[in-house]
Amino acid sequence: LKALWFDGKSLSLTGRPTPKPRPGEALVRVRLAGICSTDLAILEGYMSFTGVPGHEFVGTVISADDPSLVGKRVVGEINCACQSCQFCLSGLQKHCPNRTVLGIMGRDGAFAEYVCLPVENLHKVPDEIDDEAAVFTEPLAACLQILEQVHIKPHHKVIILGDGRLAQLAARVVRLVGCSILVVGKHRAKLDLLDGLGASALLLDDFEPDHTADFVIEATGSPSGIKLALECIAPTGKVVVKSTFNKAPALPLSRLVIDEVSLVGSRCGPFEPALRLLGNGSVSTAELISAIYTIDRWQEAFDAAASTAIKVLIKLA
């Protein structure tokens, strides 16, 4: 099968044997996969991953112990847990210390024609959600995790820092609360994608942080984002931290203490609510697709994802 392979230094298109599902796993033919900022970070050494990257996908089940899944279109949760440790037994499978993570840690991912995942990680995609929308399920779920972790209320003021892939989806989710939203980014063209969503948008150069946001969602992907977040947040406010990178920014912790601000790390989220919001049209994603490439044109795809594009997809079937 065709797969993108990262050897720890560079990515290349290779031919590899079709993976063999372990007990309890399904074999899935990947239809469409999305490039995420985490993938770009992995190519720079994040998580010291080697193997097939890619964790956002929609595919068709080829084989599974559960025959009702075979032939079905599915998306897949990325954390593969042991189901027997203290975290798994308390419902925190995604924090299982024995876990593998699709295309990120110890498990080959979705930039390949076939991928294996435990059956319990799969979610059937309703017919009304096409592939180009379904491929957003994983990052949309990650944005819904914000609302699982903090209680954003309709009267709150929320600032989203960043205008890229995750920031765009976060704006599309958080706006459903009815709160006031300001998105601050560096790219006019990306900010324009928020038109008609009822969120305000401002270029970073025109933005003056003033410690008035009840919540800040930090989705810049840059170490400088967290410092800006601390300049935006009001006393007793909460900063939801979404960016992952290898650097350790210096933080003025006394400000955190004096203003009793919280930093809330936020990662993966629930798939079923994401599928509901995609299915009922509450969250639009079509305008976020910058380009779709076949896997043979993977280099162009990754170049585009690393430049000013929003979501770049790789079509595999």
**Interface residue with a second copy, options 264, 289, 292, 306 (CB under 8 A):** 264
Contacts of a second copy in 102-161 (CB under 8 A)? 149
Nearest 5°: the CA angle 288, 30, 162 is 25
Tokens of 248: 């350790």
Does 45 help bind a second copy (rule: CB under 8 A)?
no
Separation CA 124–CA 122 (nearest Å): 7
Angle between helices 137-149 and 165-174 (to 10 degrees): 50
Separation CA 21–CA 27 (nearest Å): 6
- Torsions phi, psi of 103, nearest 5? 70, 10
Q: Please say which residue, 267 or 297, places its beta carbon nearer to a second copy.
A: 267
CB 317 within 8 A of CB 30: yes
- Torsions phi, psi of 172, nearest 5? -70, -25
**Interface residue with a second copy, options 266, 274, 302, 309 (CB under 8 A):** 266
The helix (H) or strand (E) run that includes residue 229 is helix 224-232
Q: Please say which residue, 248 or 286, places its beta carbon nearer to a second copy.
A: 248
Q: Please say which residue, 78 or 125, places its beta carbon nearer to a second copy.
A: 78
How many residues form the binding site for a second copy (CB under 8 A)? 35
Does 36 help bind a second copy (rule: CB under 8 A)?
no
DSSP bridge pairs for 26: 117
Q: State in angstroms the smallest separation of the CB of 261 from a second copy.
A: 5
Separation CA 40–CA 21 (nearest Å): 27
Does 222 help bind a second copy (rule: CB under 8 A)?
no
* Residue 293: CB atoms within 10 Å: 18
**Interface residue with a second copy, options 89, 176, 203, 258 (CB under 8 A):** 258
Q: State in angstroms the smallest separation of the CB of 93 from a second copy.
A: 11
**Interface residue with a second copy, options 265, 280, 282, 294 (CB under 8 A):** 265
Contacts of a second copy in 225-254 (CB under 8 A)? 226, 235-236, 241-246, 248-254
Could you list the residues that contact a second copy (CB under 8 A)?
46, 87, 92, 95, 149, 223, 226, 235-236, 241-246, 248-267
